[in-house]
């Protein structure tokens, strides 16, 4: 009783909820199929629970499922489990060597404490419109691996992101991993971000990934986050770069077709203008 | 916060106008609407369960229609309050016929939020409002006849 | 009697000594209010208004009351007889709304407390708070003070439809004549936006009522335990001698805990009513909504000068956003701005007006600087604008108008008497450190390359060490009690109530030096009204500057007594006290402090006319304020594409008189600069038109982090204050006061090639980007 009382006093003031910490993916999928809410780091979910904005009845902590927390390479594809922490990405020699954009991007997310606990799967499934990851994952043409009690399916990142806080995940489904291609020869990349000074979120974040060969850019991918309801690929600018245009030329009007958001930190107009600036900088850096 | 936009419905203006004031249809299309009961001329009581990402909350609200000018325009007022905050949306809705079986719906209005959702979610009010309006029209377009 | 007192000869005052309080603070072993756990303690959760203005049509507490574990639910009518939350400031014609501790029939701001739930734990209290049903009728609100002054604006308090709480006028000299004779007049509207103090520790209260002896103890995170005791005694009709206030470890305040809050009285009242201890701990969200904000000025400046740059006069209209109520000092804060208006300059003509305006927002009150940063920002901006108008260097215009070293004591146009100063000295030193001429050359080079580089100067003066009692609302003196135990250990009790400033170290340095004992043998106590003589508290850069001299004088009296005992014990009138012992100058025989202390308590024999024991209490009344000054220079560069401001160099030279511990002074300056930089670039408490606080969490309110700070090159000049024997002035607020105008002047200078003359804070990237792109604000 005394210990219990002590814990209650020290704890945050959420509503009451059930808590499971399954040891296997199969067990987790069953709990999620029954309506459990996955806890994958809790960097967004837990603050909302403290404010009672989120009141999940059943939390399914994925922290003990070892299979979800590995980074593996297989035939040029790098698979990153949903529960891989930002710190693990930041310190991965494999990613530093073969997909440096992941490492560049993760340095710019949150702070040390957040990076120690936050997971890539948790962030992507949450789909905050100002999250950093989507820009880089779009530029890398990442594939999202989804599992449910009924089986597995793969969805390209571009289709996975549907809208503000809305993804292609159906009830009962779990984001299990993402995979990205190892960089080919001649690859270059960069993530450039305008930081919201209070939260550290991206007001605008732009990721560029290019492949050069024979003196030209053979492939260019640009992902932009923070501007609108969800991150997007800047396909016209990609094509312009591939057609030999300079970054400054390519980024003109890069967000012109987007329904940009306004808030107390930045107007829609500023976000659109900054999308051009940061996309240009990301391209210049990727091509440097 | 100001919101505005347009959506094209695959019906004639008269049908669109009538449907936009049909409580049964509105109840089906309002995101999270659990019940909608007429409490007066052009006034309805509504219960909503808002759910977006991990955030969820129950809202008691009212919908009121003012300045009815069938079939071309009306003002829609939506109010709701719950434990996590309150909201009030006022929108002027204009219907422009686009041929026999197509109507452009223009809306222009103001969304005010208060309570916890305003204090900690101000950066998300804009994108969330747009999402809710989009969800409404997408559903509405599939049901309107 | 045995003693372990170690005598020492090395002087500690002036040395960089690490803070003795830090080990417990950084190892989590300090005791804050939330660490206090009393047997049978209950937990309170407050139900607050989500509306900026609303009528309360009904409150249903039945569901909350029925929840198992809930002890009580109280609403406004239960506490209607508790005295109002006090306003200590008095101004002619001031309108003072009755500030009940729980809302009665209306709410006036988001966060206004409406009901309180008291339960066996925090969870149950929160669950029950969610079950309290309040039927509100929302009313129109107004949060912009200028809008609130316009005809037809919603009335915050229906009884005062013009929303005007007071107007205040102060004239010095003949400003109209000065303006008529001027060659040039420059005018500018200059704002100081609402800020949130953001102390690391939010507020918290534990109230403990002893039903046996009818005594109430309040543990509160406060800067002013004694003033709180007096005012709570009045609010709760509890005899003051049966009311004890304890400020345990306090994690910062910046003025936000220089107050008496509804929750302090509410917890006391509930504990008395229930007969059990009650704890309330403020969440960060509540802290942002319900603890006072700072600044909130819209000011209209006009400056008149001759062609040669001689300033003739200043006219200022201040519109102060008061919020919905007066907290302890709310209406007094802008009057401090008026006092400060002459800055370091010798012009003798000032005309100032204040309009104090009610808004549907949490009250503003003292926040680090309290009225003086607003004034300094205004005058240092308008002087820069005058320099631009006259095509003068900002250094030249300042130097030309400084009060000369031979003009002290100097009577200012606002009625102050500056006792000392050497205003050109810190500016000169700052210019040397930053290589001003070189920086201007580099700026010219950068401009040729199209870069936007600016150099900004502020030379500030400060009124601090609050203060002479006639000039303060509650007495401006401070107390000290020094005791030497029978074993020779020393305890210093101060009536000031440090909460992060470091007096546990600096006061021990002073006592150790005076008594010639090791700093290890000195304990500094504060913050408990049952142990400490009545004191005023820590605010207004007064801890060292008023509490320090009180301690110094107590130590002098104590030394006299020690010498009398020493003379008795050495059996000689020729005795000196130094290095922790009395020495007979004739025989060379000595007796140590420990032995003297032991003898003084044993009292087998007493010196003629002396009393037993070694204990002295001293109350010191300062004859005047202290007047620190300094110069800050910031070099900034603006990113032309994004509007982002980077501070490339930041040099500050502060003159706070004699320095007791340079490490702590640098810490105060660095922290102050961080808060000044926060105002200049990032922070803004934003209310929407309905009274919703949109920057309601640290997610949306940008307090600068360490990575956002420039390297602060801090240096000093030393002009001792003549008002106290330590020659100290006070440095708690200096960094904040000096910083914001230096940064804004620098950014305006950077953008001056684009024709920019003024920018209001905060200088967010978007604001600068819009300015660069010609669609300002």
C22-57: per-residue pLDDT in tens? 999 999 999 999 999 999 999 999 999 999 999 999
Q: Convert the pLDDT of each residue in B45-86 to its tens digit.
A: 999 888 887 788 889 999 999 999 989 999 999 999 998 899
Tokens at residue C681, please?
A: 């670039």
| C127–A15 CB contact, under 8 Å | yes
- ipTM of the complex as predicted: 0.94
What's the pLDDT band for B3 if we cut at 50, 70, 90? confident
> Which chain C residues touch B if contact means CB-CB below 8 Å?
50-52, 110, 130, 285, 288-289, 688, 690, 692-697, 699-700
Q: State how far residue A200 is from chain C, nearest Cα, in angstroms.
A: 8
Chain A residues in contact with C765 by the CB 8 A cut-off are 194
According to the model, what pLDDT value does residue A2 have? 42
Chain C residues whose CB is inside 8 A of the A267 CB are 766
Cα–Cα distance measured from residue C475 to residue C540, given in angstroms and rounded to the nearest whole number: 13
Task: Tell me what the mean pLDDT of segment A117-134 comes to.
Answer: 96
Report the residue count for chain C. Answer: 777
B83 reaches C (C-beta below 8 A): yes
Find which of C45, C48, C50, C283 to mutate to test the B interface (most B CBs within 10 Å of its CB): C50
Question: Tokens at residue C583, please?
Answer: 């020495």
**What distance in Å separates residue B137's CA from the closest CA in chain A?**
15
Say yes or no for a CB contact (<8 Å) between C692 and B113: yes
Per the CB < 8 A criterion, the answer to whether C477 and C621 are in contact is yes
CB-CB neighbors (< 8 A) of C702 in chain A:
196-198
Q: What percent of chain B has pLDDT over 90?
A: 45
Closest by CA position to A84, among listed A110, A65, A97, A59: A65
Q: What is the pLDDT of residue C776?
A: 45
Q: Which residues of A touch C700 (CB under 8 A)?
A: 198-199, 264-265
Three-point CA angle A123, A129, A133, nearest 5°: 40
Return the pLDDT at C234.
98
Split at pLDDT 50, 70, 90, the class of A11 is low
Mutation for C interface: A8, A108, A198, A199, most C CBs within 10 A = A198
Cβ–Cβ of A274/C121 closer than 8 Å? no
Give the mean pLDDT of B126-130.
Answer: 86
| B85, B120, B122 ranked by CB distance to C50: nearest | B85
Element (H, E) at C747: helix C734-751
Average pLDDT over residues C543-568: 97
Is B114 within 8 Å of C692 when comparing Cβ atoms? yes
For residue C283, which residues of chain A lie inside 8 Å, CB to CB? 13
Lowest mean pLDDT among A35-44, A159-168, B12-21, C7-16: C7-16
| C697 contacts: CB under 8 Å, gap ≥ 6 | B119, B120, C284, C285, C288
Nearest chain A Cα distance for residue B113, angstroms: 13
Check whether C743 has a pLDDT greater than 80.
yes
Contact at CB, C50 and B122, closer than 8 angstroms: no
Strand segments, DSSP code E, in C369-477 are: 410-411, 417-418, 452-461
Q: Find chains touching chain B: ≥3 CB pairs under 8 Å.
A: A, C
The tally of CA atoms less than 13 A away on the side-chain side of residue B122 is 26
Q: Does B128 touch chain A (CB under 8 A)?
A: yes
Q: How far is B41 from chain A (nearest CA, A)?
A: 34
In this complex, which of C285, C644, C695 lies closest to A264 when CB atoms are compared? Answer: C695
Give residues 86 to 125 of B whose Cβ lies within 8 Å of C. Answer: 86, 112-116, 118-120, 122-123
Cβ-based contacts of C127 with chain B (< 8 Å) = none
Test A54 with B55 for CB contact under 8 angstroms: yes
Sign of the dihedral defined by the CA atoms of residues C375, C376, C377, C383, in that order: positive
pLDDT at A15 over 90: no
Tell me which chain B residues have a C-beta less than 8 angstroms from the C-beta of C51: 86, 114
Report how far residue A61's alpha carbon sits from residue A117's, in angstroms, rounded to the nearest whole number. 13
User: Using 50, 70 and 90 to split pLDDT, how confident is the model at B124?
Assistant: confident
pLDDT at residue C741 is higher than 90: yes
Q: CB-CB: which of A196, A198, A274 is closest to C642?
A: A274
DSSP letter string, B77-130: EEEEEETTEEEEEEEEEEEEE-STT-EEEEEEEEEEEESHHHHHHHHHHHHHHH
Residue A71 near residue A95, CB atoms below 8 Å: yes
Chain B residue numbers with beta carbons less than 8 Å from the beta carbon of C692 are 112-115, 118-119
User: Could you give the CA distance from residue A278 to residue A135 in angstroms, rounded to a whole number?
Assistant: 12
Of A165, A196, A259, the CB nearest to B52: A165
Q: Residue B119 and residue C690: Cβ atoms within 8 Å?
A: no
Residue numbers in A near C126 (CB within 8 A): 13, 52
The mean pLDDT value of chain C amounts to: 96
Closest CB from B56, B84, B122 relative to A263? B122
Q: Nearest Cα to C322, choosing from C371, C359, C373, C355?
A: C359
Phi, psi (5° rounding) for residue C72? Answer: -160, 155
CA angle C664/C668/C670 to nearest 5° reads 115
Interface of A with B in 214-253 (CB under 8 A): 228-229
Of C130, C690, C697, the CB nearest to B119: C697
Q: How confident is the model at residue A12 (pLDDT cuts 50, 70, 90)?
A: low
Q: Which of A 146-165 lie inside 8 A of B, CB atoms?
A: 163-165
**Beta-carbon contacts below 8 Å between A and B:** 68
Rounded to 10 degrees, the C-alpha dihedral A93/A95/A101/A104 comes to -30
HSE, side-chain direction, 13 A CA sphere, residue B123: 25
What are the tens digits of pLDDT across the range B91-108?
Answer: 999 999 998 889 999 999
Residue in chain A closest to C769 (alpha carbons) equals A270
The whole-number average pLDDT for the span A235-262 is: 96
Contact B131 A164 (CB under 8 A): yes
**Cβ–Cβ of C126/A13 closer than 8 Å?**
yes
Chains sharing 3 or more CB pairs under 8 A with chain A:
B, C
Chain B residues within an 8 Å CB radius of A129:
124, 127
pLDDT reported for residue A3: 44
C692: nearest CB among B81, B83, B118: B118
Contact between C325 and C99 under an 8 Å Cβ cutoff? The reply is yes
Does the pLDDT value for residue B120 go beyond 90? no
Q: What is the per-residue pLDDT for B51?
A: 81
Whether residue B127 and residue A229 make contact (CB cut-off 8 A), yes or no, is: yes
Q: Locate the chain A residue with the closest alpha carbon to B135.
A: A163
Angle at C500 between CA C498 and CA C504, to 5 degrees: 60
Q: Who has greater pLDDT, C482 or C6? A: C482
Tell me the pLDDT of chain B averaged across its residues.
Answer: 89
C696 → closest Cβ in B83, B86, B119: B119
Buried b (16+ CB within 10 A) or exposed e, C543-575: bbbbbbbbbbbbbeebbebbbbbbbbbbebeeb
Per-residue pLDDT tens digits for A260-283: 999 999 999 999 999 999 999 999
Question: Smallest CA–CA separation between B129 and chain A, in Å?
Answer: 10
Does B58 contact C at CB distance below 8 Å? no
Gap from C49 CA to chain A (nearest CA, Å): 16
Confidence of residue C7 (pLDDT cuts 50, 70, 90): low
Q: What is the DSSP letter of C604?
A: S
The reported pLDDT for the residue numbered A151 is 94
Select the residue from C37, C707, C769, C772 to test the A interface by mutation, using most A Cβ atoms within 10 A: C769
Interface probe for A, chosen from C700, C775, C776 (most Cβ of A below 10 Å), is C700
């Amino acid at each position: 009783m005394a210990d219990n009382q002590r814990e209650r006093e020290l704890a945050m003031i959420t509503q009451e909820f059930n808590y499971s910490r399954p040891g296997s993916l199969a067990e987790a999928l069953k709990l999620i199929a029954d309506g459990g809410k996955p806890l994958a780091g809790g960097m967004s979910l837990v603050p909302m629970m403290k404010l009672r904005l989120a009141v999940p009845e059943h939390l399914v902590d994925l922290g003990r499922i070892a299979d979800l927390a590995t980074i593996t390479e297989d035939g040029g594809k790098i698979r990153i489990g949903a529960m891989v922490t930002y710190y693990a990405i930041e310190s991965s020699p494999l990613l530093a060597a073969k997909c440096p954009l992941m490492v560049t991007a993760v340095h710019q997310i949150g702070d040390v404490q957040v990076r120690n606990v936050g997971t890539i799967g948790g962030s992507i499934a949450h789909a905050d419109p100002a999250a950093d990851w989507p820009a880089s994952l779009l530029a890398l043409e990442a594939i999202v691996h989804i599992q449910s009690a009924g089986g597995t399916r793969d969805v390209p990142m571009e289709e996975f992101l549907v809208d503000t806080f809305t993804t292609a995940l159906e009830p009962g489904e779990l984001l299990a991993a993402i995979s990205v291609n190892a960089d080919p020869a001649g690859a270059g990349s960069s993530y450039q971000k305008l930081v919201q000074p209070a939260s550290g979120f991206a007001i605008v974040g732009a990721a560029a990934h290019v492949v050069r060969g024979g003196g030209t850019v053979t492939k260019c991918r640009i992902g932009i986050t923070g501007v609108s309801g969800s991150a997007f690929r800047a396909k016209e600018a990609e094509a312009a770069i591939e057609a030999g245009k300079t970054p400054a030329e390519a980024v003109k009007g890069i967000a012109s077709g987007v329904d940009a958001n306004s808030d107390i930190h930045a107007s829609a107009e500023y976000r659109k203008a900054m999308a051009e600036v940061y996309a240009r900088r990301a391209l210049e850096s990727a091509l440097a | 916060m100001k919101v505005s936009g347009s959506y094209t419905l695959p019906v004639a203006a008269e049908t669109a106008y009538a449907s936009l004031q049909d409580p049964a249809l509105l109840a089906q299309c309002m995101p999270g609407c659990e019940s909608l009961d007429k409490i007066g001329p052009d006034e309805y009581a509504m219960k909503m369960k808002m759910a977006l990402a991990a955030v969820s909350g129950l809202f008691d609200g009212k919908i009121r229609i003012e300045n009815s000018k069938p079939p071309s325009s009306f003002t829609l007022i939506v109010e709701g309050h719950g434990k996590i905050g309150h909201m009030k949306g006022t929108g002027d809705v204009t219907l422009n016929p686009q041929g026999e079986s197509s109507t452009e719906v223009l809306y222009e209005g103001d969304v005010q939020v208060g309570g916890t959702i305003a204090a900690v979610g101000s950066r998300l009010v804009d994108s969330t409002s747009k999402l809710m309006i989009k969800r409404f029209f997408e559903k509405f377009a599939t049901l309107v006849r | 009697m045995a003693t372990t007192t170690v005598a020492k000869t090395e002087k500690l005052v002036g040395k960089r000594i690490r803070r003795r309080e830090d080990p417990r603070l950084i190892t989590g072993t300090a005791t804050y209010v939330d660490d206090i756990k009393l047997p049978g303690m209950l937990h309170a959760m407050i139900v607050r208004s989500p509306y900026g203005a609303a009528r309360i049509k009904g409150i249903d507490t039945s569901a909350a009351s029925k929840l198992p574990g809930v002890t009580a639910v109280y609403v406004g009518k239960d506490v209607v007889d508790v005295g109002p939350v006090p306003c200590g400031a008095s101004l002619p014609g001031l309108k003072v709304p009755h500030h009940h501790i729980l809302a009665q029939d209306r709410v006036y701001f988001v966060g206004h407390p409406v009901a309180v739930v008291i339960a066996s734990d925090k969870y149950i209290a929160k669950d029950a708070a969610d079950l309290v049903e309040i039927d509100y009728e929302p009313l129109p609100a107004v949060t912009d003070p200028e809008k609130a002054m316009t005809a037809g604006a919603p009335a915050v308090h229906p009884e005062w439809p013009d929303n005007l709480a007071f107007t205040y006028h102060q004239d010095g000299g003949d400003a109209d004549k000065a303006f008529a004779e001027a060659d040039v007049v420059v005018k500018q509207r200059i704002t100081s936006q609402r800020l949130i103090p953001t102390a690391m520790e939010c507020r918290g209260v534990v109230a403990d009522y002893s039903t046996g002896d009818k005594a109430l103890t309040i543990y509160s995170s406060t800067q002013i335990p004694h003033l709180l005791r007096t005012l709570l005694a009045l609010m709760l009709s509890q005899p003051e001698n049966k009311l004890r206030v304890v400020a345990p470890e306090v994690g910062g305040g910046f003025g936000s805990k220089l107050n008496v809050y509804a929750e302090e009285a509410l917890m006391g009242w509930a504990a008395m009513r229930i007969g059990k201890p009650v704890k309330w701990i403020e969440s960060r969200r509540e802290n942002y909504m319900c603890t006072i904000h700072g600044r909130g000025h819209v000011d209209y400046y006009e400056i008149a000068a001759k062609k040669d740059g001689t300033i003739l006069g200043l006219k200022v209209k201040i519109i102060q956003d008061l919020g919905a109520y007066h907290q302890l000092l709310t209406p007094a804060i802008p009057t401090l701005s008026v006092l400060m208006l002459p800055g370091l300059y010798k012009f003798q003509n000032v005309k100032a007006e204040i309009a104090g305006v009610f808004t549907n927002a949490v009250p503003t009150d003292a926040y680090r600087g309290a009225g003086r940063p607003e004034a300094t920002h205004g005058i240092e901006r308008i002087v820069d604008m005058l320099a631009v108008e006259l095509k003068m260097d900002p250094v030249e215009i300042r130097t030309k108008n400084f009060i000369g070293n031979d003009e002290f004591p100097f009577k200012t146009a606002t009625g102050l008497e500056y006792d000392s100063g050497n205003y050109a000295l810190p500016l000169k030193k700052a210019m040397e450190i930053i290589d001003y001429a070189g920086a201007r050359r580099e700026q010219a080079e950068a401009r040729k390359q199209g870069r936007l580089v600016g150099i900004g100067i502020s030379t500030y003066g400060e009124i601090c060490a609050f203060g002479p009692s006639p000039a303060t609302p509650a007495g401006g003196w401070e107390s000290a009690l020094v005791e030497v135990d029978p074993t020779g250990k020393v305890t210093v009790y101060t009536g000031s109530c440090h909460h992060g400033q470091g007096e546990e170290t600096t006061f021990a340095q002073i006592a150790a030096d005076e008594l010639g004992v090791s700093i290890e043998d000195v304990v500094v106590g504060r913050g408990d009204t049952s142990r400490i003589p009545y004191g005023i508290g820590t605010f207004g850069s007064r801890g060292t500057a008023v509490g320090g001299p009180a301690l110094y004088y107590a130590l002098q009296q104590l030394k006299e007594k020690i010498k009398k005992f020493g003379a008795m014990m050495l059996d000689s009138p020729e005795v000196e006290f130094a290095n922790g012992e009395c020495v007979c100058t004739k025989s060379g025989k000595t007796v140590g402090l420990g032995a003297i202390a032991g003898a003084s308590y044993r009292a087998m024999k007493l010196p003629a006319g002396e009393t037993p024991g070694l204990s002295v209490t001293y109350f010191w009344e300062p004859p005047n304020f202290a007047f620190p000054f300094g110069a800050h220079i910031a070099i900034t560069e603006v990113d032309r594409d994004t509007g982002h401001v980077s501070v490339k160099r930041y040099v500050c030279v502060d003159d706070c008189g004699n320095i007791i511990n340079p490490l702590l002074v640098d810490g105060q300056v660095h922290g102050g600069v961080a808060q000044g930089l926060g105002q200049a670039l990032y922070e803004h408490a934003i209310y929407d038109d309905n009274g919703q606080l949109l920057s309601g969490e640290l997610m949306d309110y940008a307090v600068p982090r360490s990575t956002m700070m420039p390297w602060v090159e801090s240096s000093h000049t030393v002009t001792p204050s003549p008002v106290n024997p330590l020659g100290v002035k006070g440095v708690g607020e200096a960094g904040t006061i000096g910083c914001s105008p230096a940064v804004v002047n620098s950014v305006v200078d950077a953008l001056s090639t684009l024709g920019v003359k003024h920018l209001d804070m905060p200088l967010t990237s978007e604001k600068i980007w819009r300015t660069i792109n010609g669609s300002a604000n």
